[in-house]
Amino acid sequence: MKVVKKPEILHAQLIVNGLNDSWSLLSQIEFNSIIRAYSRRKPIYAILFFREMIRNGVLPNKFTYPFALKACALLKALNEGKMVHCRIAKTSKQYDIHAQGSLVHMYAKCGSMSSAKLVFELIPVKNLMAYNQILDGYIKLGFLEEACKLFDEMVERDGFSWNAMIEGYAKMGDMVSAQRFFDESPIKDEISFGILVNWYAKWGDLKEARQVFDMIQERENPIAWNSLIAEFNHMEHYAQWIFKI
């Protein structure tokens, strides 16, 4: 069994040996290992290695595409993402739920919601992650009406779904709607409370911020406390008021 070297070692060897002469020495597994590693830390390298993988005739597979698309999403590199999409379309056997979900995420992060929605509609069995990716994309772009319609369609929702709606309305200054989603949420966590306190404070409603904060104290949730302390590090005058310093 072949032992796959660490991505950093493989990359270093490519540079030492000369890039032009060494790409062809990498196997599919080695390309995938490098693309996966760089998709988290240096996405531009992940895209570079994906391009070289294609150029050298090494076929991507279902383990390649999600990480190549993740890199495109982080960089908001829409054209590169479209290139990856074309490759997936040409190899339909690899066009599985993971690739489709990654495509939805990439298009949404790049702000191309029409493409994200199109791919989303083609997914035969839509999972919660795919719904959340579309939902997050709508909210990030301020399309709250579309987000609300999608939210109502969702059979299953998790904490991310509820918190996304709370923060989406809060960012737009509609704290009434944000509070409504908060009140209706069956999955309130430290993030939910942190969102409300943060945005009430930012919009100058310190009374409501304090009331929500007092609810957290009643819960005796140390995670929530730590989250709020971090939130208030850059808002000293709010912190002093809330903590009565």
Identity of residue 115:
S
pLDDT cut 90: percent of the chain above it: 53
Give 61-91 as a DSSP string. Answer: -TTTHHHHHHHHHHHT-HHHHHHHHHHHHHS
Quick one: average pLDDT of 138-152? 95
- What residue segments make up the domains of the chain, in order of their start? 1-125
Identity of residue 218:
E
Q: What's the pLDDT score for residue 194? A: 87
Q: What's the pLDDT score for residue 4? A: 47
Identity of residue 67:
F
Matching residue, tokens 């997936």: 88
Using one digit for the tens of pLDDT, what is the confidence trace for 56-104?
999 999 899 999 999 999 999 999 999 999 999 887 654 577 788 899 9
The terminus-to-terminus CA distance of the chain in angstroms comes to: 63
Distance CA 131, CA 149 (A): 12
pTM, two decimal places:
0.78
- Alpha-carbon Rg for the chain in angstroms: 22
Furthest C-alpha separation in the chain: 66
Residue 164, pLDDT above cutoff 80: yes
Distance CA 128, CA 132 (A): 6
48 CB contacts (<8 Å, ≥6 apart)? none
Tokens (6 digits) for 124: 């035969």
